[in-house]
């Protein structure tokens, strides 16, 4: 069962899709990719939200990151939490899969899509990914091992909260955990200071 879940996560990672608009000519920023998306195999939900490189707020470049906020099977058969054991960084090998960042600061490209890297926990590697939207309720994710070996999946937008889903802001106690190189942008204060 663990192998099946890891394979599903790998396929989900290689098929990660974000919402991006299509334009016939010229450059236009992709549509809003933020939200929670159910992977094609229904084994995971990925939350996409704006992020910035640590110490990189001044660059002004748009980024989005994606986090595993729900897993159909977050634990191993023995009840222990499934972890990122194949990560090449020993410091990250004990982190839980649930809550970890898998989409690493994607940016808009000239094709009105988001592109960048996606992390595959099953292999402990980053792969190239490109994401776009054909419809407001779906995300297309094209993951490539190498330039000609690619797979595209369709993810579906979800509005409900599944049991065990992380709902807090990235970096909070009840939310996913950004990689140290990425952080959620500062939130606007709900109340103005006097």
Backbone phi, psi, residue 15, to 5°: -110, 25
Mean pLDDT per 10-residue section of the chain, whose length is 194 residues: 41 36 36 85 94 72 91 95 96 96 92 91 92 86 86 95 95 92 61 40
pTM of the prediction? 0.78
Sequence spans of domains, the chain: 2-159
> For residue 187, what pLDDT is reported?
55
Residues 6+ apart with CB under 8 A from 55: none
> For residue 103, what pLDDT is reported?
95
Class of domain 2-159: mainly beta
């Amino acid at each position: 069962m663990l192998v099946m879940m890891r394979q599903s996560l790998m396929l989900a990672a290689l098929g990660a899709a974000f919402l991006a608009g299509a334009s016939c000519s010229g450059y236009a920023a992709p549509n809003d990719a933020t939200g929670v998306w159910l992977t094609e195999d229904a084994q995971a939900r990925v939350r996409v939200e704006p992020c910035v490189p640590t110490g990189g707020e001044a660059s002004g470049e748009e980024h989005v990151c994606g986090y595993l906020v729900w897993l159909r099977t977050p634990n191993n058969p023995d009840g222990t939490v499934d972890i990122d054991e194949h990560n090449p960084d020993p410091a990250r090998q004990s982190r839980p899969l649930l809550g970890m960042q898998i989409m690493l600061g994607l940016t808009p490209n000239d094709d009105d899509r988001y592109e960048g890297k996606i992390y595959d926990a099953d292999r402990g590697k980053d792969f190239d990914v490109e994401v776009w939207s054909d419809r407001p309720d779906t995300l297309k994710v094209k993951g490539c091992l190498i330039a000609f070996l690619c797979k595209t999946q369709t993810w579906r937008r979800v509005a409900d909260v599944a049991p065990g889903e992380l709902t807090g802001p990235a970096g909070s106690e009840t939310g996913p955990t950004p990689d140290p190189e990425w952080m959620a942008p500062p939130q606007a204060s709900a109340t103005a200071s006097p």
